[in-house]
Structure 1
Amino acid sequence: MAIVDTPLALRCAAEFIGAFLPFFSVGFNVLSGAAVFGGLSLATSLTVLTYALAGLSGANFSPAVTLALCTSKKLGGPGLDFGTSGTYIAVQLLGGLCSGLCFVNVFADSFRLGPGAGFSWVGACLCEFLYSMFFCFVVLNTTAARAYSSEGNQFYGLAIGAMALAASYAAGPVSGGLINPAITIGADLAGAGAGFGKSLIYAVFQLLGAAFSALLFKMVRPLDFDENETPRSRLISEMIGTFALVLTVGLAVLAKTPMAVVAIAGCLVAMVYALGDVSGAHFNPAVTVAVLVSGHDPDMIPKRAGYYIGSQLLSAIIAGWCFCLLHNGNSFVVAPGEGFSLAAAAVAEMFFTGLLAFVVLGVAVAPKTKSFQIFGLAIGFCVVVAGFSVGNVSGAFLNPAVSVGVAASGAGWSSVKTAVRYTTFQLLGGSVAGGLNYLLHSEVSAAGETTKLLGAA
């Protein structure tokens, strides 16, 4: 994203405001007894402030994001120079400290940094590393990618807020889901009477995640670093997006948070926006099958679809092991809800997976109906609809990769058998969606022949 030629002092003021206000809102949520809405406050405040201030400073608001941009620059890609990065980080830390001092003076209390009850420091630090990496990765792909250097896009703020939403409710129970050293260190300094130092442990892993996100950014967008593009970039994109999605599903469900559906949808929205122009952002074998059947993407031949599905399933299995490890070996089963039959659950999975795939085709693939700005939000809303509609019936997995990832996490043989059945009906739903989309985007000539509309007006 191009930054308007603004004096450094004004850019620093924008960074201070962006670091101060989101933390300020979360602090009031947590300390006033409304902690369940803290992630929502963080996500929405980040979204609106990103839109309000991006043209001034780039809307980093976090030392982790600034380090990711600086690392990207050092690797030969788009980003921030070292001098500007250092100034930004100092201002962001000051904003976090001032915010912490404000709500400490109001409530005479502060955050208690550290792992959630029953979790280890190892798990908490791994969570901070992973979700800082995901968050910075989304920022890089939606604001720094050369694809948006000239005309930009209008979805970057939505993507950033959506990833913050996912981190808050997936990683929150394990580590707090802070993902921002300015918030972490600011909270620790503000409550220094309780002992200072734990924030530095978190900050190290948050910054490591940020640096690693720049490496992933280079892997999925080699052209941005003046390197040759290979088919491998698309498969890496699918693996990253699927891993983030399955990990978020597992952590959010195991956390038993009422905001699980929102967190999962947020992760999908963020990753679709981040990687949609790289691989198509399928992250779901049923979607890949739907794209193949629809014929809208001439590059999606059976061989490539097979590679896509293989990469999605592999990363899903790794993600399943990961969320099981983070939750001390606990997992959950792939099974119908209490009081519902396997047949009812399978039909629910088929119908709502088909709905998801159909919407993906309509808003992101089909030439006559696709949107260039709202596609990620529409796809995420499908998860919200399904989660609230059939979550109690089937679990609303909607994705063979999620079914396989959960089953592979150690949920038991019964879970594996149900996952296979779910996968069958999910793929059937994707196939039906692809076929229906093919018919809807065809036209009948005078001779009665059906011709595909590949970009026809």
Structure 2
Amino acid sequence: MRKYVAEFIGTMVLVIFGCGSAVAANTLVGKLGVEVPLGFTTLLIAFAFGLVIVAMAYSIGNISGCHINPAVSLGVFISGKMNGKDFVGYLVAQFIGGIAGAAILVALFGSNESLGTNGYGDASALGISMGIAFLAEVILTFVFVIAVLGVTSKVENGSVAGLVIGLTLTLVHILGIPFTGTSVNPARSFGPALLAGGQPLSQVWVFILAPLVGAAIAALVYKFLSAEEEKQA
């Protein structure tokens, strides 16, 4: 039970600080009435998501592995490093944590109009189509999950794993934010979309399905690559 509670807390904190930083940055820019380069806010938000992963990895990593992302849990499950019971338990805890985090953001900002939701079309900075949004999320999640599987595959990487994973999440956000706002995490997307309603909720299926597809591909590719490596050893 403790690992499920840890996943709930970790996902909640990710939404509060990651999505909350996006809301705060965009709100502040709007109130100041000044033009801020898109690259500046992109980096700010990207590092917020990356740093919260680093913080949680070294806080709850020894308890649950700090997945705090259904896509990561799926990758670990397909890799054979997680049983079905824990997989379901992690998913439930993560989605509830995402909803709780979004609810706290509503309380903090006093509105559900902007919760760091993901989107395509006019909800995307680049105005991309649904198909491009799906493809982008598959690619971004593939990179993130294969990095997680790789760095956590060796015990000697334990001291740096959190940092590597956090920086990889920062990396995928830098590219992905102008496209979709960057999900790579179904629970992070579902919580804010559920409380925001409207367009974010109608589009959220893309940000649930695409990361799971990307994670599954990453797990299968990593299994193939690691199997080849074991044969050569």
Give 4+ residue runs of structure 1 displaced > 6 Å after superposition.
none
RMSD in angstroms over aligned alpha carbons? Answer: 2.0
Structure 1 CA distance, aligned partners of 2:88 and 2:76? 12
* Contact residue 18 and residue 52 of structure 2 kept, 8 A: no
Report the AA paired with residue 442 of structure 1: A
Match for 1:380 among 154, 158, 166?
166
Aligned to 2:227: 442
Structure 1 CA distance, aligned partners of 2:129 and 2:228? 41
Structure 2 CA distance, aligned partners of 1:443 and 1:429? 21
Report the AA paired with residue 107 of structure 2: L
Shift in Å, 1:325:
1.5
Aligned to 1:405: 191
Report the AA paired with residue 197 of structure 2: G
Match for 1:335 among 90, 94, 119?
119
* Contact residue 46 and residue 171 of structure 2 kept, 8 A: no
Instruction: Please state which structure has a larger fraction of its residues in helix.
Output: 2
Deviations 1:311-355, CA, capped at 9 Å, x for gaps: 100111111111011111132443121421111111111111111
Structure 2 CA distance, aligned partners of 1:443 and 1:251? 42
Shift in Å, 1:417:
2.3
Deviations 1:51-109, CA, capped at 9 Å, x for gaps: xxxxxxxxxxxxxxxxxxxxxxxxxxxxxxxxxxxxxxxxxxxxxxxxxxxxxxxxxxx
Structure 2 CA distance, aligned partners of 1:312 and 1:404? 10
Structure 2 CA distance, aligned partners of 1:441 and 1:399? 24
Aligned to 1:234: 3
Corresponding residue SS for 1:340: coil
Corresponding residue SS for 2:157: coil
Shift in Å, 1:360:
0.7
Q: Does 1:245 align with 2:14?
A: yes
Aligned to 1:394: 180
Corresponding residue SS for 1:389: helix
Shift in Å, 1:283:
0.2
Aligned to 2:98: 316
Q: Does 1:266 align with 2:54?
A: no
Shift in Å, 1:413:
3.0
Gaps of 5+ in 1: 1-231, 445-451
Match for 1:325 among 99, 107, 111?
107
Report the AA paired with residue 249 of structure 1: G
Structure 1 CA distance, aligned partners of 2:208 and 2:198? 15
Structure 1 CA distance, aligned partners of 2:89 and 2:176? 30
Judging changes above 3 Å, is the alpha-carbon distance between structure 1 residues 342 and 244 closer, same or farther for their aligned structure 2 residues? Answer: same
Shift in Å, 1:398:
1.2
Sequence identity (%): 29
* Total equivalences in the alignment: 211
Structure 2 CA distance, aligned partners of 1:260 and 1:413? 23
Corresponding residue SS for 2:216: helix
Match for 2:87 among 298, 305, 321?
305
Judging changes above 3 Å, is the alpha-carbon distance between structure 1 residues 290 and 240 closer, same or farther for their aligned structure 2 residues? Answer: same
Report the AA paired with residue 70 of structure 2: P
Structure 1 CA distance, aligned partners of 2:209 and 2:18? 20
Corresponding residue SS for 2:4: helix
Structure 2 CA distance, aligned partners of 1:249 and 1:270? 12
Structure 2 CA distance, aligned partners of 1:370 and 1:413? 46
Corresponding residue SS for 2:178: coil
Structure 2 CA distance, aligned partners of 1:426 and 1:370? 28
Aligned to 2:141: 353
Deviations 1:2-29, CA, capped at 9 Å, x for gaps: xxxxxxxxxxxxxxxxxxxxxxxxxxxx
Aligned to 1:427: 212
Match for 1:362 among 128, 135, 150?
150
Judging changes above 3 Å, is the alpha-carbon distance between structure 1 residues 334 and 301 closer, same or farther for their aligned structure 2 residues? Answer: same
* Contact residue 72 and residue 215 of structure 2 kept, 8 A: yes
Q: TM-score, normalised by structure 2?
A: 0.84
Structure 2 CA distance, aligned partners of 1:430 and 1:291? 9
Report the AA paired with residue 408 of structure 1: L
Aligned to 2:25: 256
Shift in Å, 1:370:
6.0
Corresponding residue SS for 2:111: coil
